[in-house]
Amino acid sequence: MPGLGELPLVPVHVQDAEGVWDLNWQRTGARNMLRHYLNSETILELTAEQARYFHVPLGNLPADPTIFAADLFYARHLMKHNFLLWCSPTERPDLGGREADDNRLLTECEENSSVVTNNPGCYSTVCIELNIDGLAVNTLLQSHHVNDIEGTSSSVSFDTIPQASLEDMMGGQVTVLPSYDETALCSGAFRVLRSMVSAWLRDVSLYKNVFADFQILHFYRWLRSSSALLYDPALRRTLHNLMKKLFMQLVAEFKRLGSVIIYANFNKIIICTKKRTIEDAIGYIEFVVQSIRNKELFHGIDISYQQCWEYLMWLDPSNHGGVQGKLPAGLTEVGVGQDGSTATKHNEEEAEEDERESNEDINDEEDDEGPAILMNWNVVEHLRNVGGCREYFGAVIAGYISAIYQHLQHVEQPQTPVRRRRLGSQSQILPQPLGIGRFATTAEFAKQLINGEMAQKLYKITQTIHEKALKQAKNLIKENDEDQFSWSKNSHMDLEKVSLEFVKTVCKVLSLDSSVQDEVTKVRRNMLRLINVGDFSDEAVWHDPCVSFVLPEVICKACNHCRDIDLCKDNYQSTENDSPVWQCPLCRTSYENSEIEYLLLDIMHRKAMAYTLQDLQCKKCLQIKMENMPEYCSCAGDFQTLVSRNDLAVYLKIFRGIAQHFKMPLLLETVEFNIQMNPGLIA
Ligand SMILES: [Zn+2]
Ligand SMILES: [Zn+2]
């Protein structure tokens, strides 16, 4: 409407859910318009408050105000400290032309990005999964301490440069900055970043300002989003490196306090508590987390409960199973029930009797319902479902878990820790096995179970599957399962090998518990003999059947939860509009496939660029080639590339598989183009 150009306009950014726009669209549209009009007053009020905090004219707020405001605040802080702004709408910061030569900034960013600890095994005591939040902000605020804990001082480390003094600036003396590292060059800007976030934090703690809180929540999204005006990959990498260091410290701290880490990445930690009851385990976690939080270094990290297991077999995040325990209702944040739990600790000895009784009550209740067994095995998806081997796998493993768990509940008395050991004396205690080896009678029971009942069952199943598979192979009926992951290269198993794969998978899972390893080996040998495969042949070695590609730090739009997704075997998936999508584990919102497609395209371009720009290395002395022309190294060795051609081919194959399975046309086209242009890359 051209007439409106005369008046000041305030846009209201509301997004409608994509409703049904059929022939009735006029009615739906009119209703939506009216609804927005009636809502506009509250929205305007809120926006006005926000604009007041940002010191921005009301009409100038864009659709994503937090990102915009982060840019704005940062720009103001930078100006105050005599910086030139590097605003640019692209992902390269505007450094006056220098950035065009510096492709290195954009290449290795995503590689080996997050630190992951994974300890496969079998855990017979209560295991608790904790969510970690606020690592980025905490790291930024504590960045000056991160160097201290490493034993170096920030003044001697390589990543800072001396600031030019005022006299030098006035005298017009040019200080030549050594450009050995981007982190050194951006250290000044990094300090400004820290002061910006601490200003927000002050607003939150002093004035209880919700908008400042919002800024802090979205800080990491802003730092990572390449569409932000002041986006700088070097800043992001600096913070990421610091986060890695801090995270290692956090894990080390958990270990120092006696926890066993089963799995840990930037968003979650799974801990084996070595306690028999959930109450004890929670008390223990409260104690550990509280003492971690009392350290200034980890002060700002949010830790909350996710779920717990009473018995857990763990291979990796997409391959685990066990008995899920119930956390007390309403228990989310660690430390909330702190007062209550310390009180119980004091009266522990008196309450011990009652506790035992109540524990028995709980056990009885659980026996009535039967333990909630959670099975989550991605490896099964890669077994061809011939002769019902997937069902057999589920039945065998679930049966085993349930038998062991029930035996544990009935025979072994829950031990309540009567006397707490001091930390110093822990090193003298012999390490106890974490699996059922802790409990002598149960271990004995498990051994008998595997040797007797289960062995017989497994032999029968193996034979059945083997016969059926052979029969099918003869008839050459190719059965096409819909849920077959035909795109991962190893899942095209020959029919004859189905029984072999079944044997390998079952034995791999059972042997997670080291205390029954001998028995499992024996059963495995016999099963292999049934299908005529040698015990020590190459075929009989277990490999992970699924390829894996981890997309780091995907941020959920609805709840701001940030996590790494293994695109090939993630558990949180569903189907929307006939194509599979990934989901946020917290709020079950699905991520947009097109967004992930663009992330993948980006990664592919980076990989191609990194491959093209890489250095040559001598095969013999492993030195990097310095001069441009020589054909051989000075030690007469041949040259090789740092990144091998095969690595690139593997990535291309994975990307092609993902693009086909998740219906990403643009990615598929780009991958196909790359494959066509490089004949011989993929055989
Ligand atoms: Zn979410
Ligand atoms: Zn050489």
Per residue in 463-492, pLDDT (tens digit) is 888 888 777 776 654 444 444 444 433 444
Q: Would you say residue 554 has pLDDT above 50?
A: yes
Rounded Cα distance between 90 and 580, Å, is 31
Rounded Cα distance between 207 and 213, Å, is 11
User: In the prediction, which pLDDT does 434 show?
Assistant: 67
Q: Beta-strand (E) ranges in 363-508?
A: 373-377
Rounded Cα distance between 363 and 355, Å, is 12
Q: Which residue bears the tokens 């605040």?
A: 73
The residue ranges of every structural domain in the chain are: 2-61, 64-89+187-231, 116-153+243-329, 368-416+433-547, 552-677
Give residue-wise pLDDT tens across range 159-218. Answer: 555 555 556 555 655 455 555 556 667 788 888 999 999 999 999 999 888 999 989 989
| Cα dist from 571 to 205, 306, 320, 381, whole Å | 38, 16, 11, 11
Of the listed ligands, the closest to the CA of 635 is: 2
Of the listed ligands, the closest to the CA of 622 is: 2
**Contact indicator for 228, 67 with CB cutoff of 8 Å:** yes
Q: Would you say residue 425 has pLDDT above 50?
A: no
User: In the prediction, which pLDDT does 366 show?
Assistant: 40
Residue 174, token pair as written in the block: 């040019």
Q: Which of 509, 539, 491 is nearest to 381 (CA)?
A: 491
User: In the prediction, which pLDDT does 74 show?
Assistant: 94
User: What average pLDDT does the chain have?
Assistant: 77
User: Which of 54-68, 373-387, 606-620 shows the lowest mean pLDDT across its residues?
Assistant: 373-387
Rounded Cα distance between 275 and 643, Å, is 46
User: In the prediction, which pLDDT does 199 show?
Assistant: 93
| Cα dist from 636 to 439, 616, 618, whole Å | 62, 14, 9
Of the listed ligands, the closest to the CA of 638 is: 2
Query: Ligand 1 center to residue 584 CA distance, Å?
Result: 5
Over range 235-261, report the average pLDDT: 87
Amino acid letter, 291:
S
Residue 59 half-sphere exposure toward CB, CA atoms < 13 A: 4
Query: Ligand 1 center to residue 466 CA distance, Å?
Result: 44
Of the listed ligands, the closest to the CA of 583 is: 1
- Name the 3-class secondary structure at 321: strand
Of the listed ligands, the closest to the CA of 582 is: 1
Cβ count near 367 (within 10 Å) = 12
Rounded Cα distance between 323 and 384, Å, is 27
Q: Would you say residue 6 has pLDDT above 60?
A: yes
264: DSSP letter: E
Query: Ligand 2 center to residue 635 CA distance, Å?
Result: 4
Query: Ligand 1 center to residue 228 CA distance, Å?
Result: 22
The better pLDDT of the pair 423, 526 is held by: 526
**Contact indicator for 632, 648 with CB cutoff of 8 Å:** no
**Contact indicator for 490, 381 with CB cutoff of 8 Å:** no
Amino acid letter, 194:
R
Query: Ligand 1 center to residue 556 CA distance, Å?
Result: 5
User: Which of 278-292, 366-380, 591-605 shows the lowest mean pLDDT across its residues?
Assistant: 366-380
User: In the prediction, which pLDDT does 436 show?
Assistant: 67
- Name the 3-class secondary structure at 680: coil
Q: Would you say residue 358 has pLDDT above 60?
A: no
Rounded Cα distance between 261 and 314, Å, is 12
Q: Which residue bears the tokens 């013999």?
A: 620
User: In the prediction, which pLDDT does 153 show?
Assistant: 54
Rounded Cα distance between 14 and 69, Å, is 18
Query: Ligand 2 center to residue 630 CA distance, Å?
Result: 12
Over range 276-299, report the average pLDDT: 87
Amino acid letter, 95:
L
Query: Ligand 1 center to residue 267 CA distance, Å?
Result: 13
Rounded Cα distance between 89 and 228, Å, is 7
Query: Ligand 2 center to residue 641 CA distance, Å?
Result: 13
- One DSSP character per residue, 204-238 reads HHHH--HHHHHHHHTHHHHHH-TTSTT--HHHHHH
Query: Ligand 2 center to residue 111 CA distance, Å?
Result: 27
Query: Ligand 2 center to residue 643 CA distance, Å?
Result: 17
Q: How confident is the model at residue 224 (pLDDT cuts 50, 70, 90)?
A: confident
User: In the prediction, which pLDDT does 317 show?
Assistant: 83
- Name the 3-class secondary structure at 499: helix
Query: Ligand 1 center to residue 553 CA distance, Å?
Result: 13
**Contact indicator for 498, 387 with CB cutoff of 8 Å:** yes
Residue 192 half-sphere exposure toward CB, CA atoms < 13 A: 21
Q: How confident is the model at residue 79 (pLDDT cuts 50, 70, 90)?
A: very high
Rounded Cα distance between 546 and 317, Å, is 13
**Contact indicator for 181, 159 with CB cutoff of 8 Å:** yes
Q: At what angle do helices 233-256 and 278-293 cross, to 10 degrees?
A: 130
Q: How confident is the model at residue 364 (pLDDT cuts 50, 70, 90)?
A: very low
The better pLDDT of the pair 107, 131 is held by: 131
Beta bridge partners of 117: 264
Beta bridge partners of 322: 312, 374
- Name the 3-class secondary structure at 156: coil
Q: Which residues fall inside 5 Å of ion ligand 1, going by CB?
A: 556, 558-559, 561, 584, 586-587, 589
Residue 449, token pair as written in the block: 């179970």
Over range 570-596, report the average pLDDT: 84
Class of domain 116-153+243-329: alpha beta
Amino acid letter, 668:
L
Of the listed ligands, the closest to the CA of 572 is: 1
Residue 2, token pair as written in the block: 């051209």
Query: Ligand 1 center to residue 598 CA distance, Å?
Result: 19
| Cα dist from 539 to 101, 474, 534, whole Å | 50, 22, 8
Q: Which of 231-235, 359-363, 615-619 is predicted most confidently?
A: 615-619
Residue 278 half-sphere exposure toward CB, CA atoms < 13 A: 21
Q: How confident is the model at residue 80 (pLDDT cuts 50, 70, 90)?
A: very high
454: DSSP letter: I
User: In the prediction, which pLDDT does 351 show?
Assistant: 36
Residue 164, token pair as written in the block: 């030019």
Of the listed ligands, the closest to the CA of 591 is: 1
Of the listed ligands, the closest to the CA of 616 is: 2
User: In the prediction, which pLDDT does 416 show?
Assistant: 42
- Return the percentage of the chain with pLDDT > 70, whole number: 77
Query: Ligand 1 center to residue 652 CA distance, Å?
Result: 29
Tell me how many degrees the CA angle 417-418-421 measures, rounded to the nearest 5: 70
Query: Ligand 1 center to residue 595 CA distance, Å?
Result: 15
Residue 281 half-sphere exposure toward CB, CA atoms < 13 A: 28
User: In the prediction, which pLDDT does 476 show?
Assistant: 53
Over range 294-319, report the average pLDDT: 86
Cβ count near 492 (within 10 Å) = 12
Query: Ligand 2 center to residue 651 CA distance, Å?
Result: 29
Q: Which residue bears the tokens 């669209």?
A: 25
Residue 89, token pair as written in the block: 């709408």
- CATH level 2 (architecture), domain 552-677: Orthogonal Bundle (1.10)
User: In the prediction, which pLDDT does 71 show?
Assistant: 93
Q: Would you say residue 632 has pLDDT above 80?
A: yes
**Contact indicator for 579, 661 with CB cutoff of 8 Å:** no
Residue 369, Cβ density class (10 Å: 0-12 exposed, 13-18 middle, ≥19 buried): exposed
**Contact indicator for 529, 503 with CB cutoff of 8 Å:** no
Residue 512, token pair as written in the block: 């997670």
**Contact indicator for 553, 599 with CB cutoff of 8 Å:** no
Q: How confident is the model at residue 511 (pLDDT cuts 50, 70, 90)?
A: confident
Query: Ligand 1 center to residue 26 CA distance, Å?
Result: 33
Residue 118, token pair as written in the block: 């994974």
Query: Ligand 2 center to residue 178 CA distance, Å?
Result: 29
